[in-house]
Structure 1
Amino acid sequence: MKKFFVVNSWGKGESPIQFASVPKQQKADISAFKKAKKKKKNIKDSSTASGQIFPRPPLAPPPSPPPITESPALKQSKSILRGRVTKPNKKSKPAKESPNKIKMPTPKPTQSSSFEAKLKENLMGGRFRFINEQLYTMSSKSANKLFREDKSAFEAYHEGYRHQVQKWPMNPLNKIIKFIKKLPKDSVVGDFGCGEGKLGQSVPNKVFSIDLVACRKDIIASDMANTPLDNECLNVAVYCLSLMGTNLNDYLLEANRCLKMGGILLAAEIESRFDDVRQFIKSLENCGFSLIKKDASVKLFLFFQFKKVRNVGKEAKLTPFSLKPCVYRKR
């Protein structure tokens, strides 16, 4: 045991203090630890001197926190705290156009083009009125000859007719179509003066479409006074704005021939064409028909529904009658 001498500040002189000696095994452990530490230091110094660096294994990145989503109410409250309130923009922003895209200017109608269109419309309307007046003041034979000699006249007439229909409160053909749709589907219809054949394309019934000129394959080109239809083959005969000409008796006697007994004749005409409606009804009674209904509920037009009550025959001696021409306003 070793002895150490310390100064005793509490009294005079020195008093020896004895410390316990370290055991040999503990000394060996301390010496081994110092040697290992020195060896590790020498290895680190030598690796640094030779330029070799032993990197530490990479540490795993810390997990990223979940994204924080702010509700619209929270965003608005933050805006209020910052001193401003932004209103939601309901209007969608237009898509940005590419700067390389070439914008084509929209052509504006020039004064000359509008004048040409108006002139063309006036010419078309003038030709329609001219043909229309001829059809009212000539027989069906003469009208047939007119369209055979001038094939463009039929197209010009119906082009003007389409423009005229747009000015009316309604198309009277639509009322007739509605009536026929209520009939049994096996009812056979004859459309006399069908024009472009709209009736045949609008109902499920079998329809014989007849006019002076056939603009489609399903239309029969024929004089309405002498058609190729068989006797008593129709349940319904239609005359929608087609009682034109000076020989209306011939049209109605042809309808009497083609209609079955008890068959229906439907007629629609402009009201201004009638001087005396009672005289018109009397003329149809002479052709073998009896009035069922007269309808004046639609402004500008009169609708008639007749029933065939007897066979008259094509050779019947009847007083000729006609309706007033429909005069359109000149521009």
Structure 2
Amino acid sequence: MERRSNNLRERMLSLIQGAKFRLMNEKMCKLPIKNIKKNFENNPTDFIEYHDSYKSLQTNWPEKPIDKLIESLKTRSKFKIIADMGCGNAQLAQSLPNKVHSFDLVSHNVNVIACNMSKVPLSAEAIDIVVFCLSLMGTNISPFIIEANRILKIKGLLIISELCNRFFNLRKFLSTMQQLGFQIIKQDKSNDCFWTFEFKKIGNPKPYTTLKLKPFLYKKR
């Protein structure tokens, strides 16, 4: 009886944490990134709660995008330098032998650099692989992709893993990424929750190119 009660309590807590994450995620996807960063800086507990809720939500996923990314990156050269944009608790850096630069809006880990992902403290063409794993927040994500282009070496790799319901039109998304200097080389849409794309840097972004994703909308039950 006690075990059943504990299991029920755990399920209820998981549902509550999942609802918190979805609501916070929906709110953030509708705001400019500078507002999101300011909110987290003024309310650091919100940042902790967001990531705690995110971890709790993932316990119900049959497959986690970060785990797939780690397994994929382990097959590549350990000498490749990686930038993890919106890294959370820096799981990539903790799981790979590579040099990983970990960035997020707020840092609660000595290995994470707090900054806006549209302006990271790295030199141009210094990185082999840039990763955005469920971290493209805000109303306009073009500045993040443009910054990824700046820090990537020519033919460097950009990996984006995002919730599939955030894409307005996949063909338009890929076309806009081309305008931002990236050619699609691989896409994985086998998961019902998130899609993963790999792009190769082929040139500089065209000016005034705008790339947007849908906000993550929480379905009220």
Q: Same fold (TM over 0.5)?
A: yes
Corresponding residue number in structure 2 for 1:271:
164
Greater relative contact order (CA < 8 Å, ≥ 6 in sequence): 2
Corresponding residue number in structure 2 for 1:148:
41
Q: For the Cα contact (< 8 Å) 2:21–2:57, is it kept in 1?
A: no
Q: Where do 1:152-191 residues align within 5 Å?
A: 152-191=45-84
Q: 1:226 aligns with which of 90, 113, 119?
A: 119
Aligned Cα RMSD in Å? 2.3
Q: 1:137 aligns with which of 17, 30, 53?
A: 30
1:324 to 2:217 alignment = no
Q: For the Cα contact (< 8 Å) 2:18–2:57, is it kept in 1?
A: no
1:307 to 2:197 alignment = no
Mind listing any 5+ residue stretches in structure 2 that lack a counterpart? none
Offset at residue 267 of structure 1 (A) = 0.8
Corresponding residue number in structure 1 for 2:131:
238
Q: For the Cα contact (< 8 Å) 2:176–2:211, is it kept in 1?
A: yes
Q: For the Cα contact (< 8 Å) 2:180–2:209, is it kept in 1?
A: no
Percentage of pairs with the same residue: 37
Question: Number of residues paired by the alignment?
Answer: 220
Q: Where do 1:98-113 residues align within 5 Å?
A: 108=2
Q: Give the structure with higher Rg (CA).
A: 1
Structure 1 CA distance for aligned equivalents of residues 191 and 9 of structure 2: 36
Structure 1 CA distance for aligned equivalents of residues 220 and 164 of structure 2: 19
Pair 118,182 (structure 1): closer, same or farther in 2 beyond 3 Å: closer
1:292 to 2:185 alignment = yes
Q: For the Cα contact (< 8 Å) 1:141–1:223, is it kept in 2?
A: yes
1:215 to 2:108 alignment = yes
Pair 176,124 (structure 1): closer, same or farther in 2 beyond 3 Å: closer
Offset at residue 298 of structure 1 (A) = 2.6
Q: For the Cα contact (< 8 Å) 1:286–1:318, is it kept in 2?
A: no
Q: 1:201 aligns with which of 57, 78, 94?
A: 94
Structure 2 CA distance for aligned equivalents of residues 294 and 189 of structure 1: 20
Name the aligned partner's letter for residue 310 of structure 1. G
Offset at residue 120 of structure 1 (A) = 6.2
Corresponding residue number in structure 1 for 2:155:
262
Structure 2 CA distance for aligned equivalents of residues 135 and 203 of structure 1: 29
Pair 122,300 (structure 1): closer, same or farther in 2 beyond 3 Å: closer
Offset at residue 121 of structure 1 (A) = 5.9
Structure 1 CA distance for aligned equivalents of residues 114 and 182 of structure 2: 26
Q: For the Cα contact (< 8 Å) 1:139–1:245, is it kept in 2?
A: yes
Q: For the Cα contact (< 8 Å) 2:106–2:114, is it kept in 1?
A: yes
Structure 1 CA distance for aligned equivalents of residues 27 and 150 of structure 2: 28
Structure 2 CA distance for aligned equivalents of residues 307 and 121 of structure 1: 38
Structure 1 CA distance for aligned equivalents of residues 12 and 70 of structure 2: 35
Structure 1 CA distance for aligned equivalents of residues 22 and 76 of structure 2: 36
